[in-house]
Each structure stands twice: as structure tokens, then as C-alpha cells.
Amino acid sequence: MTETPTGSTNATQDHFVASGTRAYGGVLPGRHILSVDVEDYFQVEAFADLVSRESWDQWPTRVEQNTMRLLDLFDEADTKATFFVLGWVAAKVPSLVREITRRGHELACHSYWHRCIYGLTPEEFRRDTRLAKTVLEQASGVAIRGYRAPSWSITVRSLWALDILGEEGFEYDSSIYPIHHDIYGLPGARRVPYAHRLNGNRRLQEFPPATVRLMGLTLPAAGGGYLRLLPYAYTAWAIRRMEAEEGQQVVVYLHPWEIDPEQPRIAGRVRSRFRHYTNLHSMEHKVRKLLQLRRFQSFQQMLASAAYSRAGADGRRDQQETNSTTAAVAAHARVSQ
Ligand SMILES: [Zn+2]
């Protein structure tokens, strides 16, 4: 793989370190991170070739009722989360984003059109991101600080997006999945929170979704399809293992459509149907168990915590120590793609 990212970023050079590095000094401020990518069942990448974005308006929407069920579930567990909401959803149902913030959760950005970033030009990405952020902020009246890419699509082909996120005012990102996967992932990237150093002396915090190391492999373990498709015991084991080995927060994610077995079926490819429809009926129960297993919080709550600030200082020292190895690991990540 000889392709290098386009754009002006220097983010490729200095922000990946070997798996297992304790970027924040091993301090665990008490709670893991719970996040929700708010999109409707017909807006997912698995069916993007069958459902045009122009047709989204014609599909029966279920995102509001499903997100409300998640909000009730989180209330029952006295848990706050970060909701990365699609700009299109915020424009369609602005009352939903107001309800999310009214209940004390953090609102963040999941793009406007749910297009994979590596398929966009930097200017297209900037326009999409700016539109989504504006719509979310106007609907909610709160400033948006966090970003999660559609389908984890910040990969070795789209690292230029990090500079644009910094320029557009984002403070953190949670889009780089350090695994091998057919449509996303950046193998060899760091598995624990770290900071990108961007052009213009900007910093952007990165919070990778949870993974676990097993027999030399990095396996995904962050909820979503992995919580839904695999036995619950796998996720519980992975969380305990990450706590013991990394001493870090586990970043968990899910989607409102994943707790909705009644959603209309789309006749996609066998693999897409398997990934999207398997175990929808049992997901809500698994989420309840997960919320009982550990305490969770939003990114905003974690960033505001005193323990995190102290740990961040340790992490910056760690990062300085590890910078000499980062370029090599970034190169490894590129050739592994
Ligand atoms: Zn998504």
C-alpha cells in the first residue's frame, strides 16, 4: 500500500503508538463510556447501495421511537451517554435532539449524510461536517464538541479529515477503529485514548472503540454489532480484560435500530442482512445487562472530570516518550491496509 493521505495533515506522523501503551497513565476515572450513533435503519452502510439518500424522506422513520426507548433505558440505569446524531435526523426531528440534551446527555456529530469519509474529497467532508454541526447546534442550542465518522471511516485513506475536524472546532473524535475489517479500521493504531497533534498547533483527542488482544490479534469488543451478534459473555469478558490489562475506559457504542426487531426488512445481500438483522430481539436485554455490569458516562462527563485532567497530563508525558516509535507504527498501519 503506497497511497498516502491527501490534504495538509501532519496527523499521520506522530500519533500512533504500539498497542497497550497507557496513554493516560492507567488512571480509570470510574466509569466507562456509552455512546449511541443515532441514525435510522435505512441509513446504514450495509444497505447504502439499495437505499439512495434522495429516497430517505420516503422511508417510514423509526429513529425517534427507538431513540426514546434508549433514553428510557438509560434513565432506568441512571446513566448518561453521548449521542452522535446524524445531521439529517436533527433536521427531520429537531425535537429529538432537544430531548436528548434535556435529559442530560451529550449531543455530538455523526455527519449529515452518513457517507464514508474515504469516499469524499476534503472539501466535501468539510461541507458535510459544517452542515451537520450547524443543524445540531441550531436545533439544540448547545455547542458540539465531538465527532464520530459514519462506519468508522477515518482510515489510512482519510486521516486528512482529522485536521478538518480540528479546524471546524471539534475537540475530540471517536472514529478510528484499530482493527482489520472489510469496510473500516486502521490496524496498528492505538487502542487507548490519545491526542492527535494537528496543523496550526491544534489538538484533537481520540477515543478508540474498545478492542481486546487475543493470540496476537486485535479483536473488536465495543458493542454495536459485536454485542448483538456474539454472546453477551464475550463483551463482559472483553471489558474485564481491558480494565485489567489497560486500566482504561472502555468505549461502547450502539444504534437505536439495533433494539428494534419490528423494523421493515430491506432485501440486501446475505452478509448485510446477517449483520443488520441478527439478534435484534435480544439486544435490548443485552444492553440492560451491560448497564448493570458497569457504570457508564458520556465523553463530556469524562472530559470534565478532575481525574481525567490529571491522567491527561500523565498521558502527554507518555506521548512525548513514545513519539519516537509512532512514525514506525503509522507506517506499519499503512502497509497493513
Ligand atoms: Zn452510523
| pLDDT value, residue 306 | 61
pLDDT at residue 111, as a whole number: 98
Question: How far, in Å, is the centroid of ligand 1 from the Cα of 301?
Answer: 22
Dist. CA 76 → ligand 1 center (Å): 25
Q: Does residue 189 belong to any structural domain of this protein? A: yes
Indicate the DSSP class of residue 264.
Answer: P
C-alpha closest to that of 88 among 122, 134, 126: 134
Q: How far is the CA of 108 from the centre of ligand 1 (A)?
A: 12
CATH of the domain at 247: 3.20.20.370
Give the Cα separation of 36 and 253 in Å (integer): 5
CA of 86 to the centre of ligand 1 (A): 8
| Interval between CA 311 and ligand 1 midpoint (Å) | 30
User: How far does the centroid of ligand 1 lie from the alpha carbon of residue 333, in Å?
Assistant: 24
Q: How many Å apart are CA 1 and CA 128, to the nearest integer? A: 28
The CA 235 to ligand 1 mean position distance, Å, reads 20
Question: What pLDDT is stored for residue 216 in this prediction?
Answer: 86
Q: Is residue 292 part of a domain?
A: yes
Q: Tell whether 149 is covered by a domain.
A: yes
Instruction: Walk along the chain (337 residues) and give the pLDDT tens digit of each residue.
Output: 333 333 334 444 334 433 333 344 444 456 899 999 999 999 998 888 889 999 999 999 999 999 999 999 999 999 999 999 999 999 999 999 999 999 999 999 999 999 999 999 999 999 999 999 999 999 999 999 999 999 999 999 999 999 999 999 999 999 999 887 777 888 888 988 999 999 999 999 999 999 998 888 888 888 888 888 899 999 999 999 988 888 878 999 999 999 999 999 988 888 888 888 888 899 999 999 999 999 999 999 999 986 666 555 555 444 433 332 333 334 334 433 3
Which range marks the domain in which residue 49 is found? 32-322
Residue 332 within any structural domain of the chain: no
Report the separation in Å between the CA atom of 151 and the middle of ligand 1, taken as the mean of its atom positions: 5
pTM, 2 dp: 0.85
* pLDDT given for residue 326 in this prediction: 38
Specify if 23 maps to a domain.
no
CA distance 28 to 81: 17
The predicted structure's pLDDT at residue 337: 35
Q: How far apart are CA 119 and CA 333, in angstroms?
A: 19
Query: For residue 84, how far is its CA from the centre of ligand 1 (angstroms)?
Result: 9
- 65 CA distance to ligand 1 middle (Å): 17
Distance (angstroms) between ligand 1 centre and the Cα of 317 equals: 34
Cα 116 to ligand 1 centroid, rounded to whole Å: 9
In a domain, 24, yes or no: no
| Ligand 1 centroid, distance to 325 Cα (angstroms) | 32
- What are φ and ψ of residue 67, in 5° steps? -65, -40
Distance 164 CA to ligand 1 centre (A): 19
Cell 504500539 belongs to 18
Q: Which residues contact 265 (CB under 8 A, 6 or more apart)?
A: 273, 277
Q: Which residues contact 253 (CB under 8 A, 6 or more apart)?
A: 35, 36, 37, 148, 209, 222, 223, 224
For residue 40, the CA-to-ligand 1 centroid distance in Å is: 9
Distance 152 CA to ligand 1 centre (A): 8
Cβ-based neighbour number of residue 72 at 10 Å:
10
Asked if 8 and 199 count as a contact pair (C-beta separation under 8 A), the reply is yes
Residue 164 counted as domain residue: yes
Ligand 1 center–CA 150 separation, angstroms: 4
CA 148 to chain CA centroid, nearest Å: 5
Instruction: Answer whether residue 198 is part of any domain.
Output: yes
Supply the pLDDT for residue 70. Answer: 98
What is the count of structural domains for the chain?
1
Helices (H), ranges, the chain: 63-76, 87-92, 94-102, 122-140, 160-167, 224-229, 232-246, 270-277, 280-293, 299-304, 306-336
294 C-alpha to center of ligand 1: Å? 24
Give me the pLDDT at residue 324, please: 29
Ligand 1 centroid to 111 CA: how many Å? Answer: 9
Look at the chain and count its residues. Answer: 337
Look at residue 269 in the predicted model and tell me its pLDDT.
86
pLDDT value of residue 310:
59
